[in-house]
Chains A and B, each alone.
Chain A
Amino acid sequence: EDKVVQSPLSLVVHEGDTVTLNCSYEVTNFRSLLWYKQEKKAPTFLFMLTSSGIEKKSGRLSSILDKKELSSILNITATQTGDSAIYLCAVGETSGSRLTFGEGTQLTVNP
């Protein structure tokens, strides 16, 4: 069975800190890895990664995939209180019909 594991499950930091969230996966036919941010309701898309070693960047957020280690990290620099959310990692297979999600990392950024 496909599996996605995120760590840590919960993280509390102060504004301005840099955080690194981890995601590891076991998937039969890997196609892509996606990161989402979930605040009160809908998960909102952050990144999709398909190639190993290529960093994707959006403002203070960046992410990279390591297919050899079957893992990805999501970095957030200079955190703000608005970054407080659950960050979800999901993996898609080549069949394309589903995403397998991890449990998420609950990030709390205190002022």
Chain B
Amino acid sequence: NAGVMQNPRHLVRRRGQEARLRCSPMKGHSHVYWYRQLPEEGLKFMVYLQKENIIDESGMPKERFSAEFPKEGPSILRIQQVVRGDSAAYFCASSLSLGGTEAFFGQGTRLTVV
């Protein structure tokens, strides 16, 4: 059973470009969470999705950031017009159900904006 798969592992973008980060949850998991880890800081919640639905996006910046989890395919975190402050590690986690089960994390995507 493959774990949570994220790609790419490393992504370099110039300021103003778009960044697309992908996450395939563990098999059978229908709950996906995105977290951001800035340098020297802890993990911060961004968004929680189930298939085709955004359930909680209270941790996501209001502009330039969006997330989706389509019926088929991976979850996508999209950052438009990236700025240097977006440089961080972005982690995806998935869980079997809401509440009562642990979340498993992917390896993360390290985004560098130059």
Residues of A within 8 A of B (CB): 31-32, 34, 36, 41-45, 48, 50, 88, 90, 92, 94-104
Query: For residues 44 through 59 of chain B, which have their beta carbon under 8 Å from a beta carbon of chain A?
Result: 44-45, 48, 55-56, 58-59
Q: Which of B12-20, B77-85, B104-112 contacts A (4 or more CB under 8 A)?
A: B104-112
Q: How many Å from the CB of B103 to the closest CB on chain A?
A: 7
Interface of A is mostly: strand
Interface pairs A-B: 9 shortest CB-CB? A97-B56, A96-B99, A98-B45, A96-B98, A101-B43, A97-B48, A101-B42, A42-B105, A103-B42
How many chain B residues touch A (CB < 8 A): the figure is 27
B42–A104 contact, CB under 8 A? yes
A99–B45 contact, CB under 8 A? yes
Of B48, B100, B105, which one neighbours A98 at CB under 8 angstroms? B48
Residues of A contacting B45 with CB < 8 Å? 98-100
Residues of B within 8 A of A (CB): 4, 33, 35, 41-45, 48, 55-56, 58-59, 89, 91, 93, 98-108
Q: How many Å from the CB of B30 to the closest CB on chain A?
A: 13
Complexed CA–CA distance, A66 and B100 (Å): 18
B99–A31 contact, CB under 8 A? yes
Residues of B contacting A94 with CB < 8 Å? 99
